[in-house]
Amino acid sequence: MTHWLGLWDYLDRNFWAYCQWFARDLTAEQIGWQPIPQIASIGWNLRHLAEMLDHYLTHVFEVQDDTFSTTPLVTMVDDSQDDGRFKNLAAIMDYHHQVRPAYRKYLLSLKLVDLDRRLSQRPNARTVGWAIGHIAEHESYHLGKCTLLRNWLVHRKQSS
């Protein structure tokens, strides 16, 4: 499990570095900016990462913890589109301060044999190991989208 934990720690450090970068360089309006309605903002993407961890911990891994969100996970709804509500980076970061340590604690609780455990009784059910890899992939994907949006914002600012 050392390798999965090391990967998560790397992704987690990157996440917080990105948040510091965004907090230093962007306004709330820029955090919520969308080039077109079909492209989610930095705020939506960051909120989605927290909601994804919340969802996996609560509904997939079935971790019992009362620190998780009791509000609907709006970015996790199929075909969810950004409606501009996620502009408050501090609030998004507060949510991450709850779910990210809980996910790390979950990873620490696992043994190597747990990675092969199926997530349901279906014959083709995915495994805990697949889900952990999917979370890492998802983290990288959405931070990449945030970087692209931030770079577009910088270009827009320089062009004006």
- Tell me, yes or no, if the pTM score tops 0.75: yes
Q: What is the pLDDT of residues 8-18, one digit of tens each?
A: 999 999 999 99
CATH of the domain at 43: 1.20.120.450
Who's near 116: CB < 8 A, 6+ residues apart?
Answer: 127, 128, 129
Burial class (CB in 10 A: 0-12, 13-18, 19+), 50: buried
pLDDT of residue 160: 65
Residue 11 is part of which domain span? 2-159
Angstrom distance (rounded) from CA 50 to CA 142 = 11
Q: How many domains does the chain have?
A: 1
Q: What is the pLDDT of residues 25-71, one digit of tens each?
A: 999 999 999 999 999 999 999 999 999 999 999 989 999 877 666 67
